[in-house]
Structure formats: structure tokens, C-alpha cells
Structure 1
Amino acid sequence: MPKEPPVVDIHTHIYPPTYLSLLRSRKTVPYLLDLADKTLPPRLIILPSDDDPSLPPESRGRPIDVSYSSIEEKLKFMTNHHITTSVISLANPWLDFLPPEEGPKWATTINNELESLSTCNPGKIYAFATLPLSAPPQAIIQEISRLKTLPHIKGIILGTTGLGSGLDDPALNPIWSSLQSHSLLIFLHPHYGLPSSLYGPRAHEYGHVLPLSLGFPMETTIAFTRMWLSGVFDRYPGLKLLIAHSGGTIPFLAGRIDSCVQHERHFPEDQGTKTRGPIRSLDTVLKDNIYLDAVIYSGTGIRAAIEKVGVEKVLFGTDHPFFPPLEEGEKKWKSVFTNLDAVTEGQDGEGAGAGAGAGKILGGNAIELLGLEVG
């Protein structure tokens, strides 16, 4: 009987115990709120809008049950869904909120814990590290250098605000340089969304639908576009960026973004001033520097991702433990199978060629990119 090809989950999160202890010690956003009823999981108060004293505690923020922090639960989830290997990462809000003097020690502690979880589960668990982005640049660079001594750390996860002013901030240049020189993949992930006023006065009636479905993708799109416009990929052409949620809306809007840049350039040139914008085209950067995960729940989205970056640069993910089963007691996650179906539907070709494309997305691409030894 032929062996099943490996499946690698590139987008899967964990709040390890040390991180939960950090959140539990805080009283301001973000923090962990323990409920009086101990049979209920604590609530993660992650955004200012979650910290609403008019709401009962059990209605604030997001419930954080054991699936968010237990590596044993992660492994059970992997077994139930035939996932060979997971590359775990800390979920938002990472360490962005810490005072500068506290960031480095927490980054070291948490990254060591991620390495330990990986070491204890050889071939099954690898990790993306977190950085102390509120700390001075030299402290961030020191942690980047240290990560190369941790064999199971395969990159870093980064939020869209960078050091606090976005990914086009010149202060990030030494960070980009260090990540490039150490060949660490950057996993770009949203957190802050768009201003809540954009969702309208009735947004609360729709739960988290608007910020999660529209705010996160647009946040990611804007962050990456600012990064490209500022010439980051001209200065650091060796950077490798994995963008969450299939790049937000980048595959769909890439043509419009490029057209706007070309027209904007025309006007200064007419007046004899310096040409604006990056040197390398958006299509070139997408082909050479960008990877997209397959967390898009749509064959159409997968096809768009493949068209912009190539089938070899699209990687499967689940976003576990978010988007859990819809029915209580259900072990199979609808969100996972929707993504699996999207990969099957959306990758190019039919027959044998289609199977080869799906195999690359489901595991082969991640194994090659990160040099994984899968279990």
C-alpha cells in the first residue's frame, strides 16, 4: 500500500505556559482574565474593545481553553487530521506590548520553550520564534543571532506594526539586514485590524466577522504594500516572507497596486523630480521573495495565490486552535477540511499533475523551504 505523502501545517499557533503566565500577571490589555466559575476557560482580553466593563466577564475577549496551550492537544489534533508535522508559532499579540527592558528576557524564555517542545517531539514539531520588538534594535538583533543556535527554530513571526510604526519604518533596516544574513523566514501575521469605526455602529451585532474576514486581510495587504513601496526588497533582496491568509488581498489587488505606482511615478517625472517607488516590480518581488499560506478556505483563493507566486510557494496551514468545530464534541474541524478541499480544488492541472501540485502545497514545499525532517 503506497505511503501517504507528508502534510505540514505551517500556520498553527500556541500560547505556551510561560506566555500565559505573563498575560495572567497583567491588568491592562492584553491580559488573561480568570473567571469566577473555574469550570469555564479564562478569557484573553486581546483588544481594547474586548476590555468592556459593561459586559459580563464571560462575554469579554476570547475563551482560551487547553487547546491553545497544550502541546498534547496539538498532537491529538494533528493525529485526527493526518498532519505529519507542525511549525508552531506564538499567536498575537506576541511581545509587542512589553516595556523595552522586559522584552528580551521574555523572548529568550519563550523561544527556548518553543525549542524544547520541538526537541521533545522530533519530526513532528518545529517553530517560528518571537522577537522582542519593543526593545532597542541591538537587543532584537542579538536574539535573531541566538536563534541560529536553536535547531528547530525555522523563522520568526512578525506583526504588521513592526517596531510600532509599520513595516516601512527605516528603523527596521538593521532588523531586515540581520534576518536576511541569518536566512530566517519571516511569517507576517495580522493582529490589529482596521479602525473599528470602519465597521459601522452595528458591528457588534456581527461578532468578529468583519474584523476577522475583512480587517485582517486588509491589515496584511497594507502592511506588505508599505514594505514594498519603501524599497525594503530593493535593499534586502534575500529576504523571504511568508504572508498569512494567502496574502490577504495581495494576489487579487497586485495589478491595481502596480498600476497606481506606475501612474504616480509619471507625475514627478514630468516635473523633473526623482521617480517614486521601489525599483523591483511587485510581480518580481512576489515571485522571488514571497510565500503564501493556504489559509483561505476557497479554491478561487488558492488559484490566485498560485498565479501570483507559483505552486512551489504556497504552503498548507490550519490556523489551529482558532476556528474550532461548530458542534460540541466534534473531533473533525470544518475549517481544516475546507482548506484541504480548497487546495485540491484550486491547484493547477488535473489528474497526476494535480496530485503533484497538491502534494507540494500540503507538505513538500514546507519541507524544502525550511529543511524539515518530518516524522
Structure 2
Amino acid sequence: MTPPLITLEEHFFSASVPSDLQESYSEQFKHVNGIYDKLCDIGETRLRDMDAGRVSLQVVSHAPGLYDPAACRAANDQLAAAINAEEVRAGGSTGKSRFAGFAVAPMGHPDEAAAELRRAMTELGFVGALVDNHSNGKFFDGPEYDVWWAAAEELGAPVYLHPNFPGDDLAPRYKGNFSDAAALSMGSSGLGWHTETALHLLRLFASGLFDRRPGLKIIIGHMGETIPFMLQRIQALSRRWGDFRRDFKTVYDENVWITTSGVWSVDPLRCILANTRIDHILYSVDYPFQRNEVGLEWITELEESGLVNEEQLNAIAYGNAEKLLGIRAPKGV
């Protein structure tokens, strides 16, 4: 029997989305039917699609690419209003509401990003943040970002590092003797998104961030963005990177959670189950870029595969998200 499902890499477009950001998603708009309308909806259409994939609760976040501080604040306000409206629809009870929120933050402005995270957590009731993996090629391992990481640790806010389109310095490296569409895909969901997010996590470790901020909670998607597959090699070679109080594998075990978003095969999970704590694996879909029904098919395949027992399946499906985010899957959905 399908357990309750909580998903947490699920996106929307706010009214603040600039036209150039919409252009970045041209390939997705071309290949995924009705995706723009679904991105703009945080109501009936989204709930209907959740029902189709038996998703009990969706943690909603803004799609990547929003940089302006005012636009980020407006997007968070819009999402908070939609969550509040869903609570009203559910009878005014957070125990029955089917939406929760991850904050978007203007990561090119670390001080303002930290302030927005505090506002979203303390005033809007969000449960963490989902932020772009870089700000036009700049990662978040520099000292200017300590204000951001300090806020995240103090608030106990899980930070989902979500892939972003290649920065201006990297985008040309994906171009070659093939179409621009192929280059755009390779630089994004075809490969680049995942390896660059893995690189970011390694940079954070090498910078000593997890020694300075041992309470951080980092989430990465897409079956761990290649890191579980490379984990033994990273563990061995990262010993050369500095003198750290905890090695990479310990940080991975204690500070990093991974989601299944958008990777619909149980094969990667065979690797993950061998080297990743079961309580750090979270189900997600990547809606509306992926269909909830496809995720449900994957859950069914996992249940039938024999790779996990019922307790482990329930943990991946909803239990681990409840513990990490302090949320509850609504009853009777």
C-alpha cells in the first residue's frame, strides 16, 4: 500500500518572474506540456496534480533564477499567502494543510539573503530555504557568505542547494558541434546542474564551513547530484584538502540529506542505500518539471523491488521529511 508522500523540490513561478528568466526555461516549456500554467498555479491545479500522484504534502519553492532582493521578498509573500489560503481551504488547520514553503533568497546579496531567510522563517512560517546553486557563477564558500550560513544554523533552517543554469563564465563550455538546444540541456538537467551542485558541496567542505557551522543542514536533489556514486573516492582524496575536525564522510552522514527528485530508476538507490543513512533519504518529484504520477510509479517499483522494508519505505516517503522539516503529512489525504 502506498504510504503518505511528502515532496520538497516542487516549484512555482511568482508574479515577480522577469521575462529573461522565462526565456531560460524555453526548453522545458517546449518539451513539458502545460508547464508554464502549472508553475504559475499554487491552488486547484497543483492540488489536483498532487492527488494524481498521491502526494499528501508539497513543500513549494520558487523555480531557480530569481536574484533581485525585492523580487525574492515578493515571491515569498505570494507563496505565504497561497499557503495561508490552503490552510483556510483545509478548515484552518495546519494539520490538514497540504502546502508548506521553502524561502527563495537573493544569494548575490548575502546580507539581504540572510535577512530574508530570517523573515521567512520567523514571520512567514517557512520550513527552510531552497536557493540557487550559484549566483552567476559565484559559489557560497567565501567569507562574505558566513552571515547567510550563520543565520541558517541559528534558525535550524535546512538549505536546499538547487541546481541553476550555468553562469556566464561556464555556459560556453557546454557549446560544441551540436545544436544550442543540446548545449542548453547538457549545461542544465542533462548533466551540468548535477556536477556543479556536487562541486559546490565539496567547496563548502574544503572551505572548513562544516567545522565552523557544524549544525548546518544541507539538502541536495537528484539522487545526491552524483556524490553517492563518487563517495568513496571523494572521502579518500578529500583528506588532502585540509585539516578538518570531521572528514567528508562524517559531514555527509551528519549534515547532508539527499532527495530522489526527477531520477526515476531504482538503480541509483541501490548505491545510495549502501553508503547513505536511511534517515537522510527523502522522496521528491521536481514538479511540475516532472509529473507526480511518474514519481508514484517509482515508489511502487521501489516497494516491489525488495530493496527496502516497510519501515524504510515509510521513512523515505514521508517520515524523514517530517523529522527534518518539522512538518506532518495530513491525515486522510
TM-score, shorter chain, exceeding 0.5: yes
| Displacement of 1:305 | 2.7
| Displacement of 1:367 | 1.4
Query: Are 1:356 and 2:311 matched, yes or no?
Result: yes
**Corresponding position of 2:51:** 79
**Corresponding position of 2:23:** 45
Distance (whole Å) between structure 2 residues aligned to residue 176 and residue 347 of structure 1: 39
Number of residue-to-residue matches in the alignment: 314
Q: Deviations 1:123-160 (Å, cap 9, x if unpaired)?
A: 2000100112233x433332222123235411011222
SS in 1 for 2:100: strand
Selected match of 1:169 from 139, 142, 152: 142
- Segments of 5+ residues of structure 2 without an aligned counterpart are 88-96
Selected match of 1:258 from 207, 224, 235: 235
For the structure 1 residues 292 and 138, does the alpha-carbon distance in structure 2 shift closer, same or farther, using more than 3 Å as the test? same
Distance (whole Å) between structure 1 residues aligned to residue 119 and residue 303 of structure 2: 39
TM-align CA RMSD:
2.9
Letter in 2 for 1:130: V
Letter in 2 for 1:109: A
Identity of aligned residues (%): 23
Distance (whole Å) between structure 2 residues aligned to residue 68 and residue 139 of structure 1: 26
Distance (whole Å) between structure 2 residues aligned to residue 348 and residue 78 of structure 1: 26
| Residues 300 and 346, structure 1, Cα contact 8 Å, conserved in 2 | no
**Corresponding position of 1:112:** 77
SS in 2 for 1:92: coil
SS in 1 for 2:16: helix
| Displacement of 1:112 | 1.5
For the structure 1 residues 207 and 323, does the alpha-carbon distance in structure 2 shift closer, same or farther, using more than 3 Å as the test? farther
* Larger Cα-atom Rg: 1
Query: Are 1:121 and 2:86 matched, yes or no?
Result: yes
| Displacement of 1:90 | 0.4
Selected match of 1:181 from 150, 154, 168: 154
Distance (whole Å) between structure 2 residues aligned to residue 205 and residue 138 of structure 1: 36
Letter in 2 for 1:19: S
SS in 1 for 2:102: strand
**Corresponding position of 2:129:** 156
Distance (whole Å) between structure 2 residues aligned to residue 347 and residue 289 of structure 1: 28
* Matches for 1:205-220 after TM superposition, within 5 Å: 206=182, 209-211=185-187, 212-220=189-197
| Displacement of 1:226 | 0.8
**Corresponding position of 1:12:** 10
Q: Which moved more, 1:293-302 or 1:59-68?
A: 59-68
| Residues 6 and 318, structure 2, Cα contact 8 Å, conserved in 1 | yes
Distance (whole Å) between structure 2 residues aligned to residue 184 and residue 94 of structure 1: 20
TM (normalized to structure 2)? Answer: 0.84
Query: Are 1:320 and 2:275 matched, yes or no?
Result: no
**Corresponding position of 1:372:** 327
| Residues 14 and 89, structure 1, Cα contact 8 Å, conserved in 2 | yes
TM (normalized to structure 1)? Answer: 0.75
Distance (whole Å) between structure 1 residues aligned to residue 326 and residue 165 of structure 2: 32
**Corresponding position of 1:282:** 248
Distance (whole Å) between structure 1 residues aligned to residue 282 and residue 149 of structure 2: 23
Distance (whole Å) between structure 1 residues aligned to residue 172 and residue 33 of structure 2: 17
